[in-house]
Amino acid sequence: MADLSSEFIGIKSPNPFWLASAPPTDKAYNVVRAFEAGWGGVVWKTLGENPHVVNVNGPRYGAVYSADRRLIGLNNIELISDRSLEVNLTEIKQVKRDWPDRAMIVSLMVPCEEKNWKDILKRVNDTGADGIELNFGCPHGMSERGMGASVGQVPEYIEMVTRWCKESTDMAVIVKLTPNISDIRYPARAALAGGADAVSLINTVSSIVSVNLDTMSPEPSIDGKGSHGGYCGPAVKPIALNMVAEIARDKETANLPISGIGGITTWRDAAEFMALGAGNVQVCTAAMTYGFKVVQEMISGLEHWMDEQGHANLDSIIGKATPNVTDWQYLNLNYITKASINQDSCIQCGRCHVVCEDTSHQAITQELNGKRHYEVIDKECVGCNLCVSVCPVENCISMEQMTSGVDPRTNLPINNEYANWTTHPNNPTASR
């Protein structure tokens, strides 16, 4: 059986699944239940200095649902821990003592002054935790006070605070990055320059997810008013994957360890993050949606897939997809595919025809001689894949690779403006 044991920046855990800093890691009771369910580690909910913050006592979450009411996104306006620092540190020390084989990371956020960081680190050093995570990502509430994302959006601040922390602790230092920035590579480079042992990403995306049209207030609504919050859940996974890949393939940060966060709900999501360069993953919304035991499916699913694929351990999958991420200009324009409809699977709903006819290339015919029937017009199909994306029947429509320049089903030339990639103007090495 595949070995899922993880050693991330020297921190050992029985598997790569950690709970992210969030409501599920707010107290010892929750964390112990998580460890009993099988989680490999936790990042304790973000701590600050006293006096502690005060959270709203009304709704803290706004939700985005799919058509079948599956939760695909949460908007969160909760702040960092509103429990006292003393109580949190006592519980952290106790839980780490009782569960020595699990990773214990403490998330921190204090005002951007050296004394504040060094003072809180003196206290965290005594807990026996394995590391700290600097929360430079929170986009709401704390950012308006000069913390969280307001630090994470300034690379110079990231480097400065990271250096302060590295000078004040022997624990591993992970820097949590905000996605609310134009180029994630710059804050990652700054974290590395400051001495960070790793980065974690992404934190939540600044957002307003809905408006109550009866009260004309953004949701969640507090006494008729709303605020932007942090968006998380399955809907942010594509954003997170891209940013993880950007750091993993950047020459300056290629060797910087990454803890992947953002919409991880299944073992497959986790495997995708690790394939793009993440050394482990952190999960929040999935636990808040399904409970802590969701990790058991993640563990068994990843083990089964790794066994099937012949992967003995996590090192055999981490970063394996990174070399295949490239800039658009390097894509092979001689690679040609055409859509093909499996008539035995087709339920004749017509969605492929409608979207192709209305919004794409008019490449799918519709015959109505007593029964609907749909076929692809090869000469019009550009291989855009939209029909596959909207088809409600899995694997009913597939994309078939063509021999370069020739359709093997007709032996006719394929209309391709540039027949040879070596002469294509988007190829930076093209001969002219």
**How many helices, marked H, and strands, marked E, lie in the chain?**
12, 22
Instruction: Say if residues 173 and 165 touch (Cβ distance below 8 Å).
Output: yes
Instruction: Count Cα neighbours of 20 within 13 Å in the Cβ-side half-sphere.
Output: 29
Alpha-carbon gap, residue 367 to 180, rounded angstroms: 48
pLDDT at site 281: 98
Q: Which of 138, 356, 381, 396 is catalytic?
A: 138
Residue 341 DSSP one-character state: E
pLDDT one-digit tens code per residue, 48-69: 986 667 777 878 888 889 999 9
Would you place residue 152 in the very low, low, confident or very high pLDDT band (cuts 50, 70, 90)? confident
Confirm whether 349 is a catalytic residue.
no
Alpha-carbon gap, residue 11 to 6, rounded angstroms: 8
**Could you tell me which residues come within 8 angstroms of residue 404 by beta carbon, excluding any fewer than 6 positions away?**
334, 335, 336
pLDDT at site 417: 46
Region 389-412 average pLDDT = 79
* Paired sense of beta strands 205-207 and 17-19, if any: unpaired
pLDDT at site 388: 97
Instruction: Say if residues 283 and 17 touch (Cβ distance below 8 Å).
Output: yes
Residue 418 has pLDDT above 70, yes or no: no
pLDDT at site 61: 86
pLDDT at site 151: 83
pLDDT at site 9: 98
Would you place residue 419 in the very low, low, confident or very high pLDDT band (cuts 50, 70, 90)? very low
Higher pLDDT pick, 412 / 422? 412
Instruction: Say if residues 294 and 287 touch (Cβ distance below 8 Å).
Output: yes
Region 126-143 average pLDDT = 85
Instruction: Say if residues 151 and 214 touch (Cβ distance below 8 Å).
Output: no
pLDDT at site 142: 67
Alpha-carbon gap, residue 45 to 73, rounded angstroms: 20
pLDDT at site 411: 62
What is the sign of the dihedral through the CA atoms of 151, 152, 154 and 157?
positive
Instruction: Say if residues 264 and 281 touch (Cβ distance below 8 Å).
Output: yes
Region 12-20 average pLDDT = 98
Domains of the chain with bracketed CATH: 6-324 (3.20.20.70), 329-423 (3.30.70.20)
Residue 422 has pLDDT above 80, yes or no: no
Region 246-257 average pLDDT = 97
With b for 16 or more beta-carbon neighbours within 10 A and e for fewer, the 31-64 pattern comes to: bbebbeebbbbbbbbbbbeeebbeeeeeebbbbb
Alpha-carbon gap, residue 124 to 314, rounded angstroms: 30
Of 151-155, 191-195, 424-428, least confident by mean pLDDT is 424-428
pLDDT one-digit tens code per residue, 225-250: 888 888 899 999 999 999 999 999 99
Region 366-383 average pLDDT = 89
Computed over every residue of the chain, the mean pLDDT equals 90
Residue 290 has pLDDT above 70, yes or no: yes
What tokens were used for 140?
Answer: 């709401």
pLDDT one-digit tens code per residue, 107-131: 999 988 999 999 999 999 999 999 9
Would you place residue 367 in the very low, low, confident or very high pLDDT band (cuts 50, 70, 90)? confident
Residue 13 has pLDDT above 90, yes or no: yes
What tokens were used for 171?
Answer: 């624990």
Q: How much is the pTM?
A: 0.90
Of 40-54, 242-256, 352-366, least confident by mean pLDDT is 40-54
